Structure 1
């Protein structure tokens, strides 16, 4: 058996189970000894421990940056870092290409409420409760979408490029995770998408939909949006104000 040393920083340690930690052998609370056989890439070794490659921003081998395809050598010492929200890496050190433009997302079956929140704040978010893992990966590649998931197996698939593991169970805290990770406050301009189907909302004349409105809505509101995909009407009522306050709480200026 050959051995390498691995040191994980920040929240990456949370992916390593207690049993896995015992098997690896933690040395001085600083690094793990890891046994391997044959020819192995550092990506395969890291993911065999339970840390998905999508969560890793930087790998240093004996102090020098390497990419996921690096073939590990006996006695190599790796320092493995998560994403730094307030720190920009040099292009030559990035393991994955920067996501181009305003983020678009695709979510797994566990994140339906988060999908509605992201749509409410205007982010193009694909979600169905019957997506298969392979479908999520295919759509993410074809449509250049960031995968958000609570399934580590999905995030470790080889073709996954842009992705993030959602750690919290609470949808509002999940929303904060995503806003922080992808700096979404920089993109939000007060507009929304349809929370039901992700369709784009278009301004509609009140006269055209007035017969469909409840009496109080008809009386107090004049600015409406319409989703042509699912025939739903929106206006800036109490729910809109409530979610605006939520945004102020999770992503203050």
Structure 2
């Protein structure tokens, strides 16, 4: 019988049974079991793990466990650079792009508000999400632990919060997105870039009141929606300012802006 002693750190404990949280525990392992197999058998998706130490040595997910091994499992580090120790993934993602599962439409919408390329369709099946993530190098966002355990998914985040605004705060803080945000540059419907447009060119597509009150507009070439700085834009602006103001300037006058879209 092969046994190994595990210790999980910080938020990884949320995935464990209560009696195993924030303490060492010893469990039996299948013969030839790998670190990935045992970590996920204990309930922690591999995409949540940044560093594994076995007997003090950094290892990858394929390391076979031996009798008496001591395994320390860490989540993503924020305050310290552990890059020299990492053995888990071949390379980091060069850009932050997401694919959200069918239950995270609100979060996907808000990430687009921040300017992050986020694919979402409420008809997405798990197999499609895995294929998209693997092909495009996207980070999977989900509340389904089993989805994050799929081997082709190399980057993913389990979303703990239940409400959209809390989910956005969680992801922004966890992935340190504030410095990369470009608010109001993507169409909330199509996930494509917006560009400024002259008022005269969209005048016939605007409600009468908007024609009088607003001067600055942007549009999406894919769906034709027109955006302006209406009350909806101001409400979104207040939310985003709480998240990105410490590290991002306000939008310049010539940046694309959102508001109520005109179909």
TM-score, normalised to structure 2's length? 0.88
Q: Aligned residue for 2:158?
A: 165
- Which runs of 4 or more aligned residues in structure 1 lie more than 6 Å from their structure 2 counterparts after TM superposition? none
Q: Choose the corresponding residue for 2:72, options 65, 74, 79.
A: 79
1:205 Cα deviation after fit: 1.5
Q: Aligned residue for 1:203?
A: 196
Q: Choose the corresponding residue for 1:225, options 185, 196, 218.
A: 218
Contact 1:6 1:33 in 2 (8 A): yes
Q: Aligned residue for 1:237?
A: 230
Contact 1:4 1:35 in 2 (8 A): yes
1:248 Cα deviation after fit: 2.6
Could you give the per-residue CA deviations for residues 123-173 of structure 1, whole angstroms, max 9, x where no partner exists? 111000111111111111211211111111110001111111101001111
Q: Aligned residue for 1:147?
A: 140
**Aligned pairs, number:** 245
CA RMSD, 1 decimal:
1.7
1:252 Cα deviation after fit: 5.0
Q: Aligned residue for 1:104?
A: 97
Could you give the per-residue CA deviations for residues 55-102 of structure 1, whole angstroms, max 9, x where no partner exists? 01111111121111100000101111111223221234242232213x
Q: What is the correspondence of 1:124-139 to structure 2 with a 5 Å cutoff?
A: 124-139=117-132
- For the residue of structure 2 that corresponds to 1:226, the secondary structure is strand
Contact 1:85 1:180 in 2 (8 A): no
State which drifts further: 48-57 or 180-189.
180-189
1:250 Cα deviation after fit: 3.5
Contact 2:181 2:244 in 1 (8 A): no
- For the residue of structure 1 that corresponds to 2:4, the secondary structure is strand
Q: Choose the corresponding residue for 2:180, options 174, 187, 205.
A: 187
- For the residue of structure 1 that corresponds to 2:103, the secondary structure is helix
Contact 2:59 2:87 in 1 (8 A): no
Distance 1:186 1:198 in 2: 20
Distance 2:84 2:225 in 1: 44
Give the structure with the higher percent helix.
1
- For the residue of structure 2 that corresponds to 1:245, the secondary structure is helix
5+ unaligned residues in a row in structure 1: which ranges? none
State which drifts further: 219-228 or 43-52.
219-228
Contact 2:160 2:167 in 1 (8 A): yes
Distance 2:220 2:16 in 1: 44
Distance 1:210 1:85 in 2: 48
5+ unaligned residues in a row in structure 2: which ranges? 247-263
State which drifts further: 78-87 or 7-16.
78-87
Q: Aligned residue for 1:250?
A: 243
State which drifts further: 205-214 or 39-48.
205-214
